[in-house]
Amino acid sequence: MTTVPVAGARETLTLTRRSLLHLKTNPEEIIELVVQPIVIVLLFTFVFGGAIKGDWRDYLQFALPGMLVQATLFATMRLGTALGTDFKKGVYDRFRSLPIARFSPLTGAILGEMVRYLLSIVVLLIVGALLGFRIQTGAVETVAAVVVLLCFGFAMSWGSALLGLTVRAAESASEFAFLIILPLAFTGNLFVPTDTMPGWLQVWVNVNPVTSVADTMRGLLLGGEVARPLMWSAVWIAALTAVFAPLAIRRFRQKSG
């Protein structure tokens, strides 16, 4: 009996690997995870950067931490579609007919997403560095920033999973997700400083979890206040996970009979 958790871990890793095999054969994913964030960096930096901050170099320094949050947030949309497709195509029935731990298909899928978020984050940090973004702190802070992003991605991916397991057509999961995530990303301080916005909007922007995470990124990568935004980020991450994870797990349980 003691071997069961170990076997469960092995099955989870196999299913993580299966999730990552999609990267090998599906060029669309590389576009979503790598090309799209790069395009956003270039677009915002060179088109809006000067207008927002006077100089594109200053803007890049301000906005790249926000873009890391945006890239992670957008990457969370995929999980719902992936889970929905697996259920629709009967792939989960196949998994369930095997003697494996019941939740390993779900945990494997989520781990696979975490690897994708990491890929997206690393690519953005490299592209940022090439364009002149300079981290003002040390390695510990940088690693801490990446960990916070991954935790945020983890929390949001439960929401994505819930959506993908709930909507009827797997493909429409990402459209729904987009309708939620796009306003969320743009009503934070990812791309523009909060103080230029009207007061009523500032109220929301300051509550938006995306703002807390972006402030944490700025604190950890550029120096400045970390404790407060980190605390709020932790609260949000815990709250989102506490709400979405049980609901998603319940849906998963229902759907897998």
Partner 1 sequence: MTYAIRAENLGKQYGSTRALDGVSFTARPGQVLGVLGPNGAGKTTAVRVLATLTRPDRGSAHVGGHDVVRQARQVRKVIGLTGQYAAVDEIITGFDNLLVIGRLLGLSREEARRRATELLEQFGLTDAARRAAGTYSGGMRRKLDLAASLIGRPQVLFLDEPTTGLDPAARDGLWEVIRGLVADGTTVLLTTQYLEEADQLADHIVVFDHGRVIAEGSPYELKTKIGGQVLEVWPVDERDRETVATIISEIAQCPATVEDRRVTVPVVEPGVLRAVVLRLDLADVAVAELALRRPSLDEVFLTLTGHRAAAAARSS
Site string for partner 1, 48-87 (x = CB under 8 A): --------------------------------------x-
Q: Binding of partner 1 at residue 165 (CB under 8 A)?
A: no
**Among 204, 21, 46, 6, CA closest to 116:** 21
Report in angstroms how near the CB of residue 77 gets to partner 1 at its nearest: 17
What CA–CA distance (Å, rounded) separates 52 from 73? Answer: 23
What CA–CA distance (Å, rounded) separates 80 from 85? Answer: 9
What CA–CA distance (Å, rounded) separates 65 from 74? Answer: 15
Judged by CB under 8 A, how many residues of this single chain contact partner 1?
24
10 Å CB burial of residue 165 (0-12, 13-18, 19+) is buried
Q: Point out which span in 8-16, 113-121, 130-138, 188-196 binds partner 1 (CB under 8 A).
A: 8-16
Between 89 and 228, name the residue whose CB sits nearer to partner 1.
89
Between 17 and 134, name the residue whose CB sits nearer to partner 1.
17
Report in angstroms how near the CB of residue 120 gets to partner 1 at its nearest: 19
10 Å CB burial of residue 41 (0-12, 13-18, 19+) is buried
Between 22 and 57, name the residue whose CB sits nearer to partner 1.
22
Between 7 and 35, name the residue whose CB sits nearer to partner 1.
7
Stretch 21-50 residues interacting with partner 1 (CB under 8 A):
21-22, 24-26
Q: Is the four-CA dihedral 177, 180, 183, 186 of positive or negative sign?
A: negative
Stretch 83-142 residues interacting with partner 1 (CB under 8 A):
86, 89-91, 93-100
Q: Find out whether 66 and 188 touch, Cβ atoms under 8 Å.
A: yes
13: its two tokens: 């890793």
Give the footprint of partner 1 on this chain (CB under 8 A): 7, 11, 14-15, 17-18, 21-22, 24-26, 86, 89-91, 93-100, 257
